Amino acid sequence: MLVVSKCFTGECCRYDGKSKPVPRIAALVKAGRAVAVCPEQLGGLPTPRVPAELTGSGEAVLDGLASAVTRDGRDVTREYVSGAYAALDAARAAGASRAYLKAKSPSCGCGLIYDGSFTDTLTPGDGVFAALLRRSGIDVRTR
């Protein structure tokens, strides 16, 4: 079983109110072979929403050493962390052992995320949900 970013299914849940459909992944969800989650929505953030970036890695956010902050300066760390844990609960309930997540996202990014400067600068690291999945022993990949 897989856990996947909900925006891959065509669901308009991204910060900009859009999706990033990947027909093959949507078909896996439809066939019951994957569960789709949006950690940001599960954390209570609206769609659309002001974009957010991390002031450090997702690992650092989970450890209380960094924050998730919107472009207009609002701290949304609590929403990102609670959403990551809610999405992890859904992944565990489905028996997921692997994840395919949206690249560069402050929640789902794997390997590269934006650096918190809102200048489109990428830095090594994972989003909050991706980091939590790795800590939980789930293999994380990006698309």
Return the pLDDT at 143.
83
8 Å CB contact between 101 and 130: yes
Coil, strand, or helix at residue 54?
strand
User: Percentage of residues in the chain with pLDDT exceeding 90?
Assistant: 99
Tokens, residue 111: 């390997």
Q: What is the pLDDT of residues 20-34, one digit of tens each?
A: 999 999 999 999 999
pLDDT (mean) for 31-50: 98
Q: Are strands 52-54 and 112-114 parallel, antiparallel or unpaired?
A: unpaired
Please tell me the pTM assigned to this model.
Answer: 0.97
Q: What is the pLDDT of residues 76-124, one digit of tens each?
A: 999 999 999 999 999 999 999 999 999 999 999 999 999 999 999 999 9
5: pLDDT strictly greater than 90? yes
> CA-CA distance, 132 to 129, in Å (whole number)?
5
pLDDT (mean) for 134-140: 98
User: Percentage of residues in the chain with pLDDT exceeding 70?
Assistant: 100
